[in-house]
Structure 1
Amino acid sequence: MPITFRRSFRILPGVRININRRSWSVTFGSKNGPRYTRSSTGRDTYSVDLPGPFGFRTTRRRNRED
């Protein structure tokens, strides 16, 4: 069984820092409203929870500049 690590810190209302064993990310938005997450691995994710068991999420990969 693999060992996992994930930690999330609220730094301001509506802003969270998320850390796991491979990367970190910053999330803007509320739990029940729209959210935008930007990851250190080059991902941008937009997500919205819809009524009931439904939701919408789209992820885009950024061009990383070396």
Structure 2
Amino acid sequence: MPVTFRKSFWIFPGVRLNLGRNSRSFTFGFKGHGPHYTRSSTGRRTTSWDLPGPFGFRHSSRRKRT
């Protein structure tokens, strides 16, 4: 069984720092329902919108290399 690590810290109202074993990311958005925007150190960008109940929207993309 692999061992994982993930920890999140609220550093400012609406800004969360997420630490993992392989990457770091910042999430912009408030607790609860509504839009969130995440940028990862690996280049992943995620936009999500959590709705009441089991519904939500999530779109992820990678940074294109030149």
Q: CA deviation at 1:62?
A: 1.0
Q: CA deviation at 1:52?
A: 1.5
TM-score normalised to the size of structure 1?
0.90
Report the aligned-residue RMSD. Answer: 1.2
Name structure 2 gaps, 5 residues minimum.
Answer: none
Is structure 2 residue 2 aligned with structure 1 residue 2?
yes
Mapped to 2, the partners of 1:35 and 1:17 lie a distance apart of: 13
Counterpart amino acid of 1:4? T
2:54 match: secondary structure: coil
Moved over 3 A (4+): none
Q: Give the aligned length.
A: 65
Mapped to 2, the partners of 1:24 and 1:64 lie a distance apart of: 19
Equivalent residues in 2 for 1:1-66 (5 A)? 1-31=1-31, 32-64=33-65
Name structure 1 gaps, 5 residues minimum.
Answer: none
Q: Any idea what the Cα deviations from partners look like across 1:6-61, whole Å, max 9, x if unmatched?
A: 01111100000000000000000013210000000001100001221011000011
